[in-house]
Structure formats: C-alpha cells, structure tokens
Chains A and B, each alone.
Chain A
Amino acid sequence: MTQATLLTEEQRRSLIGKESKPVSTVIEKGHIRRFAEAIGDPNPLYNDEVLARRSRYGGIIAPPTFLRAIHTEMIGLGTDLPGSRVLDAGSDWEYFEPVRPGDTITAVARIVDVRERPLRVGPALFVIQEITYTNQFGQKVATQRSTLIRY
C-alpha cells in the first residue's frame, strides 16, 4: 500500500527558499520589562536603567528569547500549506548583537527545508523555517531556526 503524500516533489521544491514579507517593530522598554517579568527573570540588564547603564552594554537590553515576542509573518504557518495542526518542535538561536529599547527590528522568515515523514497520526510535514532579525543599522542581530510539524 502506498502512503498518501501531502506534497508533490515539485510543490516541495517550490516552497524551499520562499520568504515572508519583512515586518518591522520598534522595541519598547516596557515590553522588554514585561517579557522579563513574564518569564520570571529578574536580571537588572532587562529592567534597571541605572545598573544596565553601568554594565558593559551601557543600557537595557532584551533577554535572549525576547524576539519571539515581536510580530513576524510566520511563513511556515501559512494556511496554504497542508496540515491543519501545527506543532512547534523547537528553536535554534544564534546571536550577533544585543537588542535594545528604541531599536527597529525587521524580521524576515524563510523556508529552509520541507520534508515529509510518517507519524503515527499520518503523514506529516516538517517545515524548517529561519527568521533573520536585522536592526536599524542593517546589522543582523539574531537568527532563529525553528522546526514546525504540520499534520
């Protein structure tokens, strides 16, 4: 018996490399503070202007996973892709520059790979998506590669 497939090889290939619209967000100090409080991280680099100013960063910065909180066009979540349920299987972050209040961060998501694998519930698509975050100086501040499982 052959298993049903979700995508033809041509459809699969056409998805790889597809990019989202860039979305820009101005980073607010209050948002950083609220995010740090929500995760339960009292590090003064995220909430104390005086201590942060005296630190090697010279001011408040955002926690490592704060960029999850800015709006991104999640192309891997697109309703045009097969599968009605989506699982977030994890993230790989790489960091290049700190994110600071007042920065304008532009997020672009790109589909890096799409693979089909059988799960117990049926065929599933593993979509690897990489988001690149760039600041107003054109510096890449971080990348986040995540695996989304659609079934």
Chain B
Amino acid sequence: MGKVLYWEDVTEGQEIPPLVKHPTTQQLVKYAGASGDFYQIHYDKDFALNNGLPGVIIHGALKNAWLGQLITDWIGEYGTLKKLSCQYRGMDVPGDTITAKGRVTRKYVQDGKHYVECEIWIENGKGERTTPGSATVILPSRTNPL
C-alpha cells in the first residue's frame, strides 16, 4: 500500500513487475487446508504417481491466486481489479521456480473510468508458459483527484 499507479503512467507494451514464487509441498498442504481443495494429486505422492503424474502438482487455483497477486501488487490500493482469467494448460510442480508475469495490452477510457487490459501468465523454471491469462483493471487518473 502507499504507492499510487496512475493510468497516465501506464503504456501499452509495458511489463508488469514479475512475481517470483518458490512453492514447496508444505505450501500445497497449506493451500489445500485454506481453500478446502483436498484432491490428493496435490499432496499424496503415491496417489499422484498412480494417476500418471510426475508427482504432486500445484493447484491450478493457487496459480490463479499468484496471478491475482501479480496484479494487485502492481496496481496498489487505489487500483481496482475488474477481471482476472487464466487457463491451466500445463502442470507445475513444487520445487520449481514459478514466475507470474504480465504485459499491458491496451488502455482506454469508458464511461469516465480509466481501464487497462493486460496479458498475464505463469512461467515455469524453463521459461515455458503453463498458465496464460488476462486481467482488466481500473486505475486512478491524474484528471480525477483521489
């Protein structure tokens, strides 16, 4: 909190500061408990292996949460997240370095509100995009005092 990101200070093509995560199996257990998602592929290695997986895998919804954090960290308290989407295309595993990244694709004004659209994604340690998505935010404008 504290810093303000104004719509005027954002340009199309601009990169969003990346968010780096080092997920552990312990984090998956904490997420299972906090979210109520107890599907065993996220914490029971034998179960995951018997289901043809390489081991336990990260909850898609946890990656969705990191993409949310990527955006809320960037826009700060005065920005408002309106839309957040992602598609789970590839699996991610604990022990890897996972980075949430994004780029501004479009900015526009509609009904007096200052919108920014972004392409966002989760990248694994090999630089592969496993979870592409998008976000739409409303930012404060220098033309409307906070």
Give the interface of A toward B (CB within 8 A): 31, 34-35, 37-41, 43-45, 51, 55-57, 63-65, 68-69, 71, 87-95, 147
B: number of interface residues (CB 8 Å): 34
Q: In the complex the two chains form, is B27's CB within 8 Å of A90's CB?
A: no
Residue in A40, A43, A65, A147 whose beta carbon sits within 8 Å of that of B64 in the complex: A65
Residues in A with CB closer than 8 Å to B81 are 64, 95
Q: How far is the CA of A147 from the CA of B88 in the complex (A)?
A: 10
Q: In the complex the two chains form, is A38's CB within 8 Å of B34's CB?
A: yes
Chain B residue nearest to A48 (CB atoms) is B1
Given A43-B72, A56-B77: A91 touches B85 (CB 8 Å cut-off): yes
Q: Show 29 A/B contacts (Cβ-Cβ < 8 Å), sorted by A.
A: A31-B34, A38-B27, A38-B31, A38-B35, A39-B34, A39-B62, A39-B69, A40-B21, A40-B66, A40-B69, A43-B73, A44-B1, A55-B1, A63-B65, A63-B69, A63-B72, A65-B61, A65-B64, A65-B68, A68-B65, A69-B35, A88-B88, A90-B85, A90-B133, A91-B84, A92-B83, A92-B85, A95-B80, A95-B84
Q: Scan B106-135; emit 1 where CB is below 8 A from any A CB, else 0.
A: 000000000000000000000000010100
Residues in B with CB closer than 8 Å to A93 are 83-85
Residues in B with CB closer than 8 Å to A64 are 65, 68, 71-72, 81, 84
Residues in B with CB closer than 8 Å to A37 are 30, 34
Residues in B with CB closer than 8 Å to A65 are 61, 64-65, 68, 84
Residues in A with CB closer than 8 Å to B62 are 39
